[in-house]
Amino acid sequence: MGCKSFDQIVDRRNTQCVKWDGATEVFGKEDLLPMWVADMDFCPPQAVVEAVKARAAHGIYGYEIKPASLHEAVLNWLKTRHNWVVDPSWLSYSPGVVSGLATAILALTEPGDRIVIQPPVYPPFFAVGDQNDRVIVENPLIEENGRYTMNLPELEEIFRSGVKFFVLCSPHNPVGRVWTRSELLALAELFVKYEVTVLSDEIWSDLVFPGHKHTPLASLSPEIADRVITFMAPSKTFNLAGLYLSDVIIPNQGLRDRFTNQMERTAQVHLNVFAPVAAEAAYREGQEWLGELLTYLTENVAFLKSELAKITSKIRVVQSEGTFVVWLDCRELDIPAEELNKFFVEKAGIALNDGAMFGSAGVGFQRMNIGCPRSVIKDAVERIAKALQDHK
Ligand SMILES: Cc1ncc(COP(=O)(O)O)c(C=O)c1O
């Protein structure tokens, strides 16, 4: 199965994929339109498919070294795409961003240490703290007229109370903000002033819509770089999440040594054979495909917004500056917040992520994945229209 365009429906059922094959178990209903877990229903760039096929054709899949050519491709991507010159010694890999975050938390913090996050935010940010007996401190984002900003005065109070660790989501899942350079500079000033160590999850850094620009936090100044561990990956960008490879960038040698030691202690030293070839092909040859993807996703957001507006004014699409997840404000629907997800699943037949999963700041919202052919969005809106009619 290959893909000719982003409009093409590729049947992913019976491929053991979480999004389609796992939906029944998670939502308790068959035949849902799955618009939840964050991977896309698109094939990656053809160069990636060819590279994986060529590696598969070799027929022997023994232990791998990490190829220097991958390193070079990642460094080149960071420089050309993000204007960030990274020293080769700063870059390493982890099997995923979440595993990297957990490793960094174990390496740098102690049980009972407090870690700040900014909800509504990607649920594993809560879990990696909770599961490792760290204390999560919330610094919720502020929502005003469908746009989110950070609450820096409150954050400063938190740092003043002695908290030394922060997990940043940049760009932000689920609210779709691409933090501006000046927002990040103000944040960085607090990190430096209060000597805070930052885990910066920049997995969405390449999925930024026209008119917005991602700035790697650590690229702002040597002073801030010294206290940041950055996570990026080809997984969201090129739809390679199931290959498990992410990039970890740590300029400070002390932090790097502690991270590396923890990776070794937990025996996370190898990559699977297909990930490096896929990642390298994507970073070397995926630029044009990514440009086309971003155009398609931008139009998907606009399409969703205009189609929804035709059927109701009570579901608002929060302004999206990047990512392929869209944050839907459903607080005006006359459906109790705790029934909202059930309404979309059982009445409309669409699997969405309930906003409450992203923290209490997400109550009354739903997250929709629009990394799919436009016809799927059309189908989803029609299902919502019918469910709203029946609800009256
Ligand atoms: C902010 C954020 N970080 C990390 C991940 C997942 O990363 P990985 O699959 O590499 O663990 C996601 C997936 O949606 C995400 O949104």
CATH number at residue 340: 3.90.1150.10
Task: Give the DSSP H or E segment for 374.
Answer: helix 374-391
The neighbouring-strand residues paired with 168 are 200
**DSSP character at residue 318:** P
Give the chain's domain count: 2
Question: In the prediction, which pLDDT does 4 show?
Answer: 85
Domain containing 117 — which CATH number? 3.40.640.10
Q: What's the pLDDT at 381?
A: 98
- From first CA to last CA, the distance across the chain in angstroms is 42
Q: Which of 168, 169, 199 is nearest to 103 (CA)?
A: 199
Spatial separation of the C-alpha atoms in residues 70 and 110, rounded to whole Å: 34
- Residue 97 CA, ligand 1 centroid: distance in Å: 6
Instruction: Examine residue 5 and state whether it is found in any structural domain, yes or no.
Output: no
pLDDT the model gives residue 391? 85
- Specify whether 26 is located in the same domain as 87: no
For residue 10, tell me if it sits in a domain: no
Give, using CA atoms, the residue closest to atom 7 of ligand 1.
97
Please indicate, yes or no, if residue 121 is contained in any of the structural domains.
yes
pLDDT value of position 392: 77
Q: DSSP for 105-139, please give it.
A: HHHH--TT-EEEE-SS--THHHHHHHTTT-EEEE-
Residue 340 lies in a domain: yes
Judged by phi (left if over 0) then psi (alpha if -120 to 50, else beta), residue 179 lies in: beta
Pocket test for ligand 1, best of 94, 170, 175, 203 (most atoms within 8 A of CB): 203
pTM for the whole thing?
0.97
- Name the residue range of residue 279's domain: 49-285
Q: Are residues 274 and 315 in the same domain?
A: no
Q: Is residue 9 part of a domain?
A: no
Do residues 31 and 59 share a domain?
A: no
Pair (354, 250) in one structural domain: no
Which tokens belong to 127?
Answer: 């879990």
Pocket (CB within 6 angstroms of ligand 1): 38, 96-98, 122, 169, 173, 201, 203, 233, 235, 241, 246
Q: Which of 285, 313, 335 is the last residue of a domain?
A: 285
Buried b or exposed e, range 273-283, using 16+ CB within 10 angstroms: bbbbbbbbbbb
Q: Both 268 and 329 in a single domain?
A: no
Helix axes 274-285, 68-82, angle to 10 degrees: 40
Q: Do 37 and 173 fall into the same domain?
A: no
The residue out of 285, 301, 324 marking a domain boundary is 285
Atom of ligand 1 nearest to the CA of 246: 10
E strand residue ranges, 170-260 = 197-201, 228-232, 246-249
Kindly state the tokens that stand for 252: 């400070």
Ligand 1 site-directed mutation target among 122, 325, 357, most atoms within 8 Å of CB = 122
Distance 203 CA to ligand 1 centre (A): 6
Q: Clarify whether residues 250 and 335 are in a common domain.
A: no
| Same-domain check for residues 215 and 274 | yes
pLDDT for 351 equals 98
Residues lower than pLDDT 50 in the chain: none
Are 199 and 66 members of one domain? yes
Residue 202 sits in the same domain as residue 95: yes
Which ligand 1 atom is nearest residue 121's CA? 1
Q: What CA–CA distance (Å, rounded) separates 199 from 262?
A: 15
Closest C-alpha to ligand 1, atom 9: 96
- CB neighbours (10 Å) of residue 370? 23
Residue nearest to atom 13 of ligand 1 (CA): 38
**CA dihedral angle for residue 54, residue 57, residue 59, residue 64, rounded to 10 degrees:** 10
Strand-pairing partners, residue 116, are 137, 166
Residues 293 and 239 in one domain: no
Q: Can you tell me which atom of ligand 1 is nearest the CA of 244?
A: 10
Alpha-carbon Rg of the chain, whole angstroms? 21
- Cα–Cα distances (Å) from 21 to 30, 195, 225, 357, in that order, read 10, 45, 41, 21
| Axis crossing angle, helix 374-391 with helix 287-311, rounded to the nearest 10 | 20
Q: Which of 262, 285, 308 is the last residue of a domain?
A: 285
Q: Is residue 201 part of a domain?
A: yes
Query: Sign of dihedral through CA atoms 347, 352, 358, 363?
Result: negative
| Ligand 1 midpoint to CA 371 (Å) | 15
Token pair belonging to 104: 């960094």
- Backbone φ and ψ for 206, nearest 5 degrees, come out as -90, -10
Q: Is residue 1 part of a domain?
A: no
What are the percentages of helix, strand and coil residues in the chain, rounded to 5? Answer: 45, 15, 40
Longest dimension (CA), the chain: 61
Residue 12 lies in a domain: no
User: Which pLDDT value is given to residue 1?
Assistant: 52
Residues 56 and 122: their CA atoms lie apart, in Å, by: 34
Q: 94 and 40, same structural domain?
A: no
Q: Which atom of ligand 1 is nearest to the CA of 233?
A: 10
Tell me how far the alpha carbon of residue 318 is from its chain's centroid. Answer: 17
